């Protein structure tokens, strides 16, 4: 059972690597294959520390890392991230929705999608 779980985790991380190559090609190139794999692995671990276990939420967490910075969750430039992440009475998906919405507002991506 543990081997199956490890295999699933490895496949998911490979999926995330492919997503980064597709949607963040500059970051993928800058990080290189080893750096990208390490970044993804670290992002999955950071997401889990914040209670994100759903694959979609973990994907969005990694997207936020690549958009706002690898340590966006503790970056003093984005205090709202830590505030949202600290809302332990909110379900993980609600916290991720709030983070994503705020990041889209900040980066102007919300207007680009409209």
* pLDDT tens digits along 54-98: 999 999 999 999 999 999 999 999 999 999 999 999 999 999 999
Q: What is the C-alpha to C-alpha distance for residues 81 and 98, in angstroms, rounded to an integer?
A: 9
Count CB neighbours of 52 within 10 A: 22
Residue 38, CB half-sphere, CA atoms under 13 Å: how many? 6
Count CB neighbours of 42 within 10 A: 14
pLDDT above 60 for 112: no
User: pLDDT-derived band of residue 108, with 50, 70 and 90 as boundaries?
Assistant: confident
- Average pLDDT, integer, range 11-34: 96
- The DSSP output letter for 24 is -
Helix 55-68 to helix 2-23 angle (10° resolution) is 40
**Residue 113: its pLDDT value, please?**
44
Domain boundaries, the chain: 2-107
- Average pLDDT, integer, range 24-48: 96
């Amino acid at each position: 059972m543990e081997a199956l779980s490890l295999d699933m985790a490895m496949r998911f991380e490979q999926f995330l690597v492919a997503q980064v190559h597709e949607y963040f090609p500059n970051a993928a190139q800058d990080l290189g294959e080893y750096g990208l794999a390490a970044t993804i692995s670290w992002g999955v671990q950071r997401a889990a520390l914040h209670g994100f276990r759903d694959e979609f939420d973990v994907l969005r967490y990694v997207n936020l890392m690549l958009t706002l910075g690898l340590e966006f969750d503790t970056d003093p430039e984005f205090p709202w991230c830590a505030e949202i992440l600290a809302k332990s009475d909110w379900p993980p998906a609600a916290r991720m929705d709030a983070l994503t919405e705020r990041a889209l507002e900040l980066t102007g991506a919300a207007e680009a999608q409209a």
